[in-house]
Structure 1
């Protein structure tokens, strides 16, 4: 992904979403701004890979009730021998000293690299945006609905394996393989990591589903937000003093909160809100330009 962000020495502007697929391979859909040769994109994809250098996880060292114990001042120790487990940094240093060490995971792009040129404002562009929205809301769990008992049993075995697979340097499952997790703390138990990678509905995928370039037209996203806000306030004839900064109350929403509507409802509500805002903005622009508001009736109905 890093190589795709920079092509021929300049930042690539893109929006991408990772689509979960039934064949268990993440599928990346990316909209890139600008014109790039197809042959060059294929070459970049073929040469792009990511290595994860983590300690080996071949044979478990601790299982069942025999798990490392926390000791103040030193970290986790072997309950039988009192041996202090190597820290995360020490385990990585051991990899550097091992000439036969190999990365635990290697990720590459597949052979299916489909590059299409699309012009803004065309039906093809609208269809691409719809596809990106569709994949953005696609649930990983919905792609793997078992159809019979054999498939359900396979899903249970996969979920059980993911329960003990290390998902990150801070995962408690490293204790199972005799390594203290990064930033280890008391109370960590193998098989009880709360990361979504261990949950059946995510099937091992814990990465970000949405990827976006940090710069667009030479500006950061925060700079663009500030410009859009200033432009909208000017179009509506408002100032910063006219906007109530306390009109929203922000708080974490825990899973299972009865006030948390389903994702599809939240997305549709946000789309409806955006359409109302756009209509109000277009009306303000029409009044400022001296155009009759009645000319926007079709636009209001579409919104």
Structure 2
């Protein structure tokens, strides 16, 4: 017996995109903003929905986490770029440039940006792959996706958009050359399931790039902890009148797997040649894995 997942897809292009099929069912029919329903078989993760997971430092029912994460990003969506500047001291822009430079993106390639926020990576990839390529900006959160889509439209950048769950991607097997997720994996309930889905939609020879906050060097740890738990929530209160959401984001970083653990998780779902680069003393790490 299956469960039904509902996704809203759209495109900032005036041209109709190609149809995409998943499990033999047409889920994108070329209209500008259709609502589609893709049927998925119940997975082992669905059966374990009564298990617990973490929401920051809290232990919550798995079924509760997605809703609470959605509330956080509903709250910070309009201030997302400011939030990234606060969380990284503005360095996220440099980290994304490094990610793009290591991607090997070329004209004509297909790129999927998961949890794409306000579209920084999607915009950069659009320039790399050109009009013969294809870039999808996706996010599970409608407020975030709307902000990203509108921002790209205002900039004159043409990408396709899809509101979807990274654990149940509505794309066929072997469709993309590159999949990226920046500062989004730590918010996913079943990270291994999401990583497996990312591998599924990659072509043989394709590449996954995970840019995420990680474990800093011991020398930086005291300063980083003070900044994360004392400075960021207070600034979040001033900037967005929401200290709780910013506190959760800081806690979610501490609960995210460290560099070696994430490397092993990627290898565990079948990625090859997995390696990572520590950036800014391990404040973030860029993990890269290939699909052969």
TM bracket, shorter-chain basis: under 0.3
Q: TM-score, normalised on structure 2?
A: 0.19
TM-score, normalising length: structure 1: 0.19
The structure with the largest alpha-carbon Rg is 1
The structure carrying a bigger strand percent of its residues is 2
